[in-house]
Amino acid sequence: MNARARILWTKAAPWVMGLLPLALLVRGMLAGELGADPVETLLHQTGTWGLILLLVTLSVTPLRRLSGWNRVVKMRRLLGLFAYFYGVLHVGVYVVLDQALAPAFIVEDVIERPYVTAGAGAFLILSLLAVTSTRGWIRRLGRRWQRLHRLVYVAGALVVVHFFWQVKADTREALVFASVYAALMLFRLPWSRLFSALPATARGDRGGPTPTPTSGR
C-alpha cells in the first residue's frame, strides 16, 4: 500500500466502521428482521457495536507502536466518537423503548442492578470524554487533557463488566471482549514500551507525521 492509499484508507476506514453497523440495524428494522423481541435486539446490537468500536479505538496506540505507522493515530478520535454514538443509541433504546421514559424505574435499575450501574458509569465517563475531545478543550486543559482522557481505560473496563454481567447463559462472546481488553491494557504496561525504543527501521517504521496530542491513549 503506497503513501496516498494509506492516507485515503485512514480517512475512509473510521466512517465505514462507524456507519456500516448503523446501516445494518436500519435495514434490519425496515425488513422486520430484529426477531421476536426487537427492543432486546437493538439493545444488544447497539451495545455490542459500541464496545467493539471502543476496543478498536484502544487498539490504535498498539497498532502505531507495532507498525510505526503514525498516521493511524488520526483515526482514533473519530472511532472514539462513533463508539460513543453507539453508546448514546444504546442508552436511548434503554431509556425510551425499554423503560418508556420512566425515571423512577430507571433510577431503580441503576441502583439495584450492578450491570446497569457499571453501564451508567461508563456512559458518564464517555460523555465527558466526548465533550472534551475537541481541539479547543485540548488547548484549555493542556497536559491535564491527556490525564483526563486516560479515564477511557476505566470506561472500557466498565463496559466490559457491563457486557459480562448482563449475559445470562453463553459467556463466550463476553470472554472474548474481556480478553481483548485485557491484552490491550497489558500492552500499555511499562515493560511493553521497551518495544517502542527499538530503532524505527527495526519496527518497520514507514514514517509519517508526529503523533497528535491524543496519542497518549
Instruction: Read off the pLDDT of residues 43-80 as tens digits, 9 standing for 90 and up.
Output: 999 999 999 999 999 999 888 888 887 888 889 999 99
Q: Nearest-CA neighbor of 53 among 27, 30, 29, 75?
A: 75
Which region among 2-6, 148-152, 168-172, 198-202 has the lowest average model confidence (pLDDT)? 198-202
Cα–Cα distances in Å, from 154 out to 52, 53, 196? 16, 16, 24
Task: State the total domains in the chain.
Answer: 1
Confidence tier at 112 by pLDDT (50, 70, 90): very high
pLDDT digits (tens, 9 = 90+) for 151-191: 999 999 999 999 999 987 889 999 999 999 999 999 888 65
- Distance between CA atoms of 9 and 170, rounded to whole angstroms? 36
Spatial neighbors of 91 by CB under 8 A, at least 6 apart, are 123
Cβ atoms of 29 and 53 within 8 Å: the answer is no
Altogether, the residues listed in the chain come to a count of 217
Query: Residue 76: what residue type?
Result: R
Provide the residue range defining the domain that includes 173: 3-216
114: cell is 450492578
| Nearest CA among 95, 60, 62, 66 for reference residue 80 | 60
